Amino acid sequence: MEQDSLPTEVILTHPRRSLGNVQLDWSPQPGAYLDLEGQTYAVLERRHRYQLNLGRYRLHKVALYVQTAQRPLERSFVDGRWFLGDASCEFNARSELVRCAVNPDGPCEGCRHYSPLD
């Protein structure tokens, strides 16, 4: 195993089942998208699993809880983070998982609820 690779178990949240173990060379956080065996998944939760080895706890593997998803076409990059939808709208949730309260499924373009931030 290379130093930069991370043993990761990918777990589908509904219906709950393991999709298998993979080696990742990046650390997906909640809100990120992961392509696995031709399917795209949204990362909902990330849990670290540690193992006691020679009196010290060491990171053993990571568990990613995911759901099937399509990569969003509308994203905004603000202050070093990606958000779903148009971040210039006051109703935008500023979240990687939820677009907004009034039109969560989108699209933002042409939305009748659009209201620019002050």
- For 44-76, how does the pLDDT look when each residue is reduced to its tens digit (9 = 90+)? 999 999 999 999 999 999 999 999 988 777 777
| 37 and 87 fall within a common domain | no
| Buried-state track 44-68, b at ≥16 Cβ within 10 A, e below 16 | eebeeeeeeeeeeeeeeebebbbee
**Does residue 1 form part of some domain?**
no
**Tell me, what's the pLDDT at 1?**
43
The answer to whether the CB of 99 falls within 8 A of the CB of 84 is: yes
| C-alpha distances in Å from residue 21, one per residue of 63, 77, 107, 115 | 9, 31, 34, 44
**Does residue 89 form part of some domain?**
yes
Strands (E), the chain: 6-12, 17-24, 33-36, 39-53, 56-68, 75-78, 81-84
**Does residue 59 form part of some domain?**
yes
| 42 and 13 fall within a common domain | yes
How many domains does one find in the chain? 2
d(CA 66, CA 58): 24
Stated as kind and residue range, the H or E segment containing 98 is none
Which residue range(s) make up the domain with 76?
Answer: 72-118
How do residues 23-34 score in pLDDT, each as one tens digit?
988 888 888 889
Residue 89's identity, in one-letter code, is: C
Confidence of residue 2 (pLDDT cuts 50, 70, 90): very low
Please compute the mean of the pLDDT values over residues 80-104 and round it to a whole number.
Answer: 82
Residue 18's identity, in one-letter code, is: S
**Does residue 54 form part of some domain?**
yes
Please compute the mean of the pLDDT values over residues 89-107 and round it to a whole number.
Answer: 81
| 58 and 82 fall within a common domain | no
